[in-house]
């Protein structure tokens, strides 16, 4: 489904991705892990077609995203969903209208069809009864659920998750990971998740890729990762997350990447 081949990316002369290659099979859920500043979120945005590589290829079902015309790229992106770190909900809209927004804007569905799909999706993520509330009136965990619902309502084939548990307490974070896992089991989408929830994220994915200094240091199953004797793998699994030495890598906006 997703193939990344020798992808390079630099911002303001600072190398972030240095020849990344990775494959995500159809229906597979893959975790991108690694210390802060090593390019996880940048790689995720390349997979979603939000960034273009300086060199290399990102393919979805054999189609190189960098060579597609804008119309073809837009059509392909309709198969994607992206759950951002902060949720990116519209503050002035209710939970219902936030989830309904892509149906109205992208699919132009009639309101009865919109209502049916929105209410079903809210039920799927445990938000039935919260549809009339504004984002400021719900908890952080409920906001994450609403953001997920807004993605799921379009029934995408591929979903990208950029730190979906950021800012949550451990119990709520685990409930969100459990929800994501249940949605994957039920809907069988192809998924890629950037997460610092180690080792909890290993329980919901079939593949783990470790990014280290802009390259894939390890790719395999969670059990293979746990059994690895690689010093970088062992160091990551055996220590709390710490900022990368010698400074963080640059982010797309030219600022240091501090979160992923």
Residue 15 lies in a domain: yes
Distance, CA of 194 to CA of 89 (rounded, Å): 20
Give φ, ψ of 210 to 5 degrees: -100, 120
Residue 251 lies in a domain: yes
Distance, CA of 191 to CA of 83 (rounded, Å): 11
Q: What is the mean pLDDT of the chain?
A: 89
Distance, CA of 20 to CA of 39 (rounded, Å): 10
Distance, CA of 46 to CA of 66 (rounded, Å): 10
Residue 66 lies in a domain: yes
Each residue's pLDDT expressed in tens, for the chain with a length of 260 residues: 899 999 999 999 999 999 999 999 999 999 999 998 889 999 999 999 999 999 999 999 999 998 988 888 888 888 999 998 888 899 999 999 999 999 998 888 889 999 999 999 999 999 999 999 999 999 999 999 999 999 999 999 999 999 999 999 999 999 999 999 999 999 999 999 999 899 999 999 999 999 999 999 999 999 999 999 999 999 988 854 443 333 334 444 333 333 33
Residue 7 lies in a domain: yes
Residue 202 lies in a domain: yes
Separation in Å, CA 207 to CA 22, 48, 201, 220, 256? 11, 18, 10, 5, 28
Residue 123 lies in a domain: no
Query: Total domain count for the chain?
Result: 1
Count of CB atoms within 10 A of residue 242's CB?
A: 10
CATH value at residue 205: 3.40.50.300
Residue 180 lies in a domain: no
Separation in Å, CA 73 to CA 5, 22, 58, 172, 244? 19, 21, 12, 36, 34
Domain, as residue range, for 37: 1-79+158-164+189-260
Residue 16 lies in a domain: yes
């Amino acid at each position: 489904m997703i193939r990344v081949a020798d992808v390079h990316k630099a911002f303001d002369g600072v190398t972030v991705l240095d020849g990344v290659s990775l494959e995500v099979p159809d229906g597979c859920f893959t975790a991108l892990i690694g210390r802060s500043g090593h390019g996880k979120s940048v790689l995720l945005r390349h997979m979603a077609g939000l960034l273009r590589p300086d060199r290399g290829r990102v393919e979805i079902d054999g189609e190189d995203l960098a060579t597609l015309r804008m119309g073809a790229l837009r059509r392909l992106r309709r198969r994607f969903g992206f759950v951002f770190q902060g949720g990116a909900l519209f503050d002035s809209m209710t939970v219902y209208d936030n989830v309904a927004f892509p149906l109205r804007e992208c699919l132009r569905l009639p309101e009865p069809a919109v209502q049916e799909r929105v209410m079903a999706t809210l039920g799927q993520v445990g938000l039935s009864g919260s549809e009339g509330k504004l984002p400021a009136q719900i908890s952080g965990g409920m906001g994450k659920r609403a953001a997920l619902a807004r993605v799921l309502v379009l029934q995408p084939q591929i979903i990208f998750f950029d730190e979906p548990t950021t800012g949550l307490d451990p119990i709520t974070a685990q409930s969100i990971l459990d929800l994501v896992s249940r949605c994957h089991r039920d809907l069988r989408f192809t998924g890629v998740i950037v997460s610092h929830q180690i080792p909890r994220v290993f329980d919901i994915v079939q593949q783990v890729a470790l990014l280290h200094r802009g390259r894939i240091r390890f790719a395999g199953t969670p059990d293979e990762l746990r059994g690895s004797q690689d010093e970088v793998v062992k160091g990551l699994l055996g220590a709390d997350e710490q900022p990368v030495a010698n400074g963080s890598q640059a982010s797309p906006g030219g600022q240091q990447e501090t979160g992923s």
